[in-house]
A and B are shown apart, each in its own frame.
Chain A
Amino acid sequence: MPINYYIFLSIALFTIGIVGVLTRRNAIIIFMCIELMLNAVNVLLVAFSKMHHVAAYALDASTTVGTEAQLFVFFIMVVAAAEVTVGLAIIVMLYRNIHSVDINFLNRLKH
């Protein structure tokens, strides 16, 4: 399959994530959209990894070019998991205080 399909898929997922972050008001849904953005990056990195690997493999069968992006994906997963733990803890802390996870509620407090 041409690499373009993967790029378009990944950009579509990423854009859904960005639009979600910018328009939704529920903290949990914003959070899910951020995860979607990170996963779009994972798809793209694996696709690029394969692309570079195939190109290098044609010249040298023992090459390791392109494997580093797949390793990067694991790092992204681990960091995303760490962010989830901290982020959900923050959201739970907020819920305990205001019994809501609505972002607008916070802006109302200020004025």
Chain B
Amino acid sequence: MNVIILSAIWGVLMMYVGFITKNKNVPTYVAIAGIILLLVVNWMEYLGMFFFNVDTKGMLEYDSFSLIFNQVILFSTLVYFLLSGSQVSSFKNNVSDLYALIFFIITGISVVAGFKSLLMLFIGIEIISIPLYVLAGSEKSNLKSNEAALKYFLMGAFSTGLMLMGIAFLYGNAGTFMLEGIQIGATEITPMLSIGLILLLCSMSFKVSAAPFHFWTPDVYDGSPTVFTSFMATIVKSAAFFAFFKLFQNAFGNIREEWGILVAIIAVFTLLIGNITAVFQQSFKRMLSYSSIAQAGFMLLGVFAMNSFAKQGLILYFAAYSLATIGIFAVLAKFKDHSIEAFNGFAKQYPLVALGMLICILSLAGIPLTAGFFAKYYMLLGVIEHGNMIWLAIFAVICAAVSVYYYFRVVQAIYFKETTIQADVTFSKPFAYIMLANAGLIIVLGIHPDWLLSYLNI
């Protein structure tokens, strides 16, 4: 709750920073200070201390699940600012506006974290999406960035339309926008309820880029400036997944048997298409966007299982996936050439950065001793606990095995190929240390996931 207010205020503040100083590094420092403030405030809210106490008539409610999710998101954003801040500052002008937009997105994410009413879901998703369209098109003279912005905008607005129609039908069925009211009304399947459910399922699949609604993802992720692809593919995707999970748990939990098979089919297609297509990519950036589709397939297993393992697993997955992907994209953003060959012999030039990147890649592939392993493990455990569809877990394991192949192509390029000289790429000392700290955190989460999960009171 307090995070919503403070991050909106900080976003406005960020815009004024652009007036006050022309120094390009100042907005980064102010943004980092802001995100640390938000982290502290969110943690105080977890401990039960509030700056403002606004009565929202039950439209927003924060339990430990929401607050820990918020904490993970804010921490990932902090890592993102630390690693990619210099890339954001390298934009020609309006650096502080870009940070302001990111803070507005965080406002939206905090709304999504606590929604109890479909109105708040709609508003939260829109507050996330609209600044993101601007960020996707922030390289104004680059045609690929233009294309990405237009495509993302049209697809986003289209899926918002679907979502609104779904909400309207649910309202017609239940007579209320509150999730509890819809949950109580959803004991038997009426035509209006099923139309609403399917439309919401489609629109949320659009937002999380699940197959068969994933077709916009590679183009948008590939075309957007790499710094913002990193933000889009990690933090925003986690938020969309959280909304997906919360909506389907709190509004349609009673009729799980009816839609479970639909989510399972979507998860299978997403895993299949994401992993198989990623194998054939030559561009690292495009491969990462397909890998993000594949990871979305794994997260969908959590939506399918919907038990306490799934809840823990999702939080862990958000942390593992966001930290790892932000790390990889931060390195990739420094390269002009986004093909995998550009990384040939990278380890000889920058051993520390390469080590950090290696651990991030291992975590994405789900190798034991990294956070990604336990994240995937919890998802599979959730599906097995659910009991109905063990084949889904088996299929997911096979897909994870496929994913190792394309992740290790990058590892091979970094460590075992002859060096190609990358004169235009430089990494500062602090960058390497933050990268290593990030990798260390991934390993700590991979050994002791309970250090994060013990804060969830499920």
Residue of B nearest to A84 (CB): B157
A41 to B157, CA, bound (A): 13
Residue of A nearest to B132 (CB): A86
Answer whether A38 and B171 are a contact pair too, CB < 8 Å, given A27-B150, A87-B153. Answer: no
Answer whether A48 and B171 are a contact pair too, CB < 8 Å, given A72-B119, A83-B130, A97-B143. Answer: yes
**Beta-carbon contacts under 8 Å, B124-180 to A:** 126, 130, 133-134, 137, 140-141, 143-144, 146-147, 149-151, 153-154, 157-158, 160-162, 164-165, 167-169, 171-172, 175-177
Q: How many A-B residue pairs have CB under 8 A?
A: 111
Main secondary structure of the interface of B (DSSP, over half): helix
Interface string of A58-70 (1 = CB under 8 A from B): 0000000110110
* In the complex, chain B residues whose CB is within 8 Å of the CB of A40: 165
Within 8 Å by CB of A109, from B119, B143, B149, lies B143
**Is A51 an interface position by the 8 A CB rule?**
yes
Answer whether A94 and B146 are a contact pair too, CB < 8 Å, given A51-B172, A72-B119. Answer: yes
**Is B394 an interface position by the 8 A CB rule?**
no
Within 8 Å by CB of B157, from A34, A45, A106, lies A34
Q: Are A44 and B175 in contact (CB under 8 A)?
A: no
Main secondary structure of the interface of A (DSSP, over half): helix
**Is B398 an interface position by the 8 A CB rule?**
no
Q: Are A106 and B147 in contact (CB under 8 A)?
A: yes
Answer whether A52 and B133 are a contact pair too, CB < 8 Å, given A34-B154, A37-B161. Answer: no
* In the complex, chain B residues whose CB is within 8 Å of the CB of A31: 154, 157
Q: Are A75 and B165 in contact (CB under 8 A)?
A: no
Within 8 Å by CB of A41, from B151, B164, B175, lies B164
A66 to B172, CA, bound (A): 10
Within 8 Å by CB of A48, from B137, B140, B150, B172, lies B172
Answer whether A90 and B168 are a contact pair too, CB < 8 Å, given A31-B154, A68-B176. Answer: no
**Beta-carbon contacts under 8 Å, B195-237 to A:** 219
Within 8 Å by CB of B133, from A17, A41, A87, lies A87
Q: Are B137 and A41 in contact (CB under 8 A)?
A: no
Interface string of A11-32 (1 = CB under 8 A from B): 0001001100100000100110
A-B contact pairs, 21 of them (CB 8 A): A7-B172, A27-B150, A27-B154, A30-B154, A31-B154, A34-B157, A37-B161, A41-B161, A41-B165, A45-B171, A48-B168, A68-B177, A75-B123, A76-B164, A79-B126, A83-B126, A90-B153, A94-B147, A97-B141, A103-B150, A106-B147
Answer whether A106 and B150 are a contact pair too, CB < 8 Å, given A17-B161, A66-B175. Answer: yes
Residue of B nearest to A82 (CB): B130
Q: Are B165 and A14 in contact (CB under 8 A)?
A: yes
**Is B122 an interface position by the 8 A CB rule?**
yes
A87 to B149, CA, bound (A): 9
Shortest 5 CB-CB contacts between residues of A and residues of B: A37-B161, A48-B172, A41-B164, A52-B175, A44-B168
Within 8 Å by CB of B130, from A71, A86, A97, lies A86
Residue of B nearest to A106 (CB): B147
**Is A1 an interface position by the 8 A CB rule?**
no
**Is A9 an interface position by the 8 A CB rule?**
no
Q: Are A93 and B146 in contact (CB under 8 A)?
A: yes
Q: Are B149 and A75 in contact (CB under 8 A)?
A: no
* In the complex, chain A residues whose CB is within 8 Å of the CB of B157: 31, 34, 83, 87
* In the complex, chain B residues whose CB is within 8 Å of the CB of A18: 161
* In the complex, chain B residues whose CB is within 8 Å of the CB of A71: 119
Residue of B nearest to A79 (CB): B126
Answer whether A86 and B171 are a contact pair too, CB < 8 Å, given A98-B143, A106-B147. Answer: no
Answer whether A72 and B161 are a contact pair too, CB < 8 Å, given A79-B123, A90-B153, A97-B141. Answer: no
